Structure formats: C-alpha cells, structure tokens
C-alpha cells in the first residue's frame, strides 16, 4: 500500500491562485498614471505588467500584511498594487537603487508608502533593522531586483516564521528565478506564477498551509 499522498508544486500553485482569485476587487488605474513618471527616471527600465499588478494586489488583499518591504520602486506600479491591496493599516517601505522618482499620492484607503530613493536594497534593509520597532516584523517582501547573500542575511533578521516573499520576473533565467533559488528554504513552498502569462511567484512558509 502506498502510504503517502503526493501533490506537486504546479498542482498546489493552481489551487493557490484559484483560492486568492476571489479577493480581486480593485480597479487598476490607466497606464498613463504611471508612464508619465518615466520622465523623472535616471535609469529607464521595464515595469510590471497589468496582469501582475492585479496578482500582487490579490496576494496582499488575501494575506493582509501590515509591514511590507519592496525592492524596486521605479514608476510605482508594484508599489501601487501593494499599497492599495493591503489597505490603510499597512506601511510599504520601498527602495530604488537607480532612481529618485516621486510617486503620486496613493488613493484613499491605501497603505502609507515610505520611499528610499537612490538606495540599494542592502542599505534599506539596514535602515529598517536600525529601527528597533521593525525587527522581525516584516510580513511580506516584494523583490523586483537582484538580491545578494548580504540581503538574504538582512532579510532573515527582518523576517519571522510567517513572512512571505513575492518574486517578480519568475521565468526562464530572469532574476526572479535566481532570487527564488537564493532565498528559498526547506521551510518555504514555492508557488509558481499564474498561468499562462504571469511572472509573479511566491515563497510561502509551509506553516501557513492548512487543510480546511
């Protein structure tokens, strides 16, 4: 007799997205809300697709993190999704190593956004660690940018056993895959992006999983 019941990551990932889909209730602003900010960019690069903006919004609307740390502000697409989806009881700390782009005010009911312009992820994490009220209190990291071993060590100090890591650009040999390999542990379940076109993956602590 086979004594185990096995599920693979793709099966669990599909169930995950089906579960949080019901939390999608926000309307995304038009693209020109963000694209006009590119004029302020020192380093002009790609940005989050609308489908992934909706996925990020769904994730934080479901988990309701209170403290969020984002790497990669740029023109604020992911910042907007994190702030609006998590609600006004949350705070989003966000850094951009290459740019100092002033984001427009978030809509009423969104989280407070604290920007770290022209600041690396390492330096932002060190600043957050210096705030004694934030030690091991980050509920969710959103990573859009390559992180290092030093970042990993700092994130571990800022994390608790329920902290979720959301990864952008999780496809092929893009940075999201490398970040997932660096940051994932045996205590995380990797959730693949929503198919067919999503690029947002997650590292979810196994202890958050329950049979209902």
pLDDT tens, residue by residue, 154-205: 999 999 999 999 999 999 889 999 999 999 999 999 999 998 889 999 999 9
| Beta bridge partner(s), residue 203 | 165, 190
* Residue 84, token pair as written in the block: 């609006």
For residue 203, give the nearest of 74, 6, 13, 49 by alpha carbon: 13
Per-residue tokens: 95: 């850094």
Task: Check residue 98 and give its pLDDT.
Answer: 92
187 close to 206: Cβ distance less than 8 angstroms: yes
Nearest of 82, 72, 17 to residue 46 by alpha carbon: 72
Fill in the DSSP letter of residue 57. Answer: H
pLDDT in tens, 79-138: 999 999 999 999 999 999 999 999 999 999 999 999 999 999 999 999 999 998 877 799
DSSP bridge pairs for 164: 140
Q: In 3-state terms, the chain is what percent helix, strand and coil (to 5)?
A: 40, 15, 45
Phi and psi, residue 78, nearest 5°: -70, -35
What 3-state class would DSSP assign to 99? coil
Q: Quick check: 74 and 45 in contact, CB under 8 A?
A: yes
Task: Give the pLDDT confidence score for residue 175 in this predicted structure.
Answer: 93
- 75: confidence class by pLDDT, cuts 50, 70, 90: very high
Quick: pLDDT tens for 198-207: 999 999 999 9
Angle between helices 77-86 and 50-63 (to 10 degrees): 30
């Amino acid at each position: 007799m086979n004594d185990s019941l096995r599920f693979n990551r793709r099966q669990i990932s599909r169930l995950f997205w089906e579960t949080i889909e019901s939390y999608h209730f926000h309307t995304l602003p038009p693209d020109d809300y963000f694209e006009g900010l590119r004029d302020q960019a020192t380093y002009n690069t790609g940005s989050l697709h609308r489908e992934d903006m909706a996925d990020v919004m769904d994730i934080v609307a479901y988990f309701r993190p209170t403290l969020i740390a984002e790497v990669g502000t740029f023109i604020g697409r992911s910042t907007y999704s994190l702030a609006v989806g998590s609600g006004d009881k949350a705070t989003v700390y966000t850094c951009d190593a290459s740019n100092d782009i002033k984001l427009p005010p978030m809509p009423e009911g969104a989280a407070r956004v604290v920007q770290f312009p022209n600041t690396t992820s390492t330096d932002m994490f060190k600043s957050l660690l210096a705030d004694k009220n934030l030690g091991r209190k980050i509920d969710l990291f959103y990573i859009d940018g390559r992180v290092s071993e030093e970042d990993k060590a700092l994130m571990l100090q800022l994390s608790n056993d329920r902290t979720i890591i959301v990864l952008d650009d999780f496809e092929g040999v893009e940075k999201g895959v490398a970040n997932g390999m660096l940051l994932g542990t045996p205590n995380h379940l990797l959730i693949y992006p929503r198919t067919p076109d999503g690029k947002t993956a997650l590292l979810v602590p196994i202890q958050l999983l329950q049979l209902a």
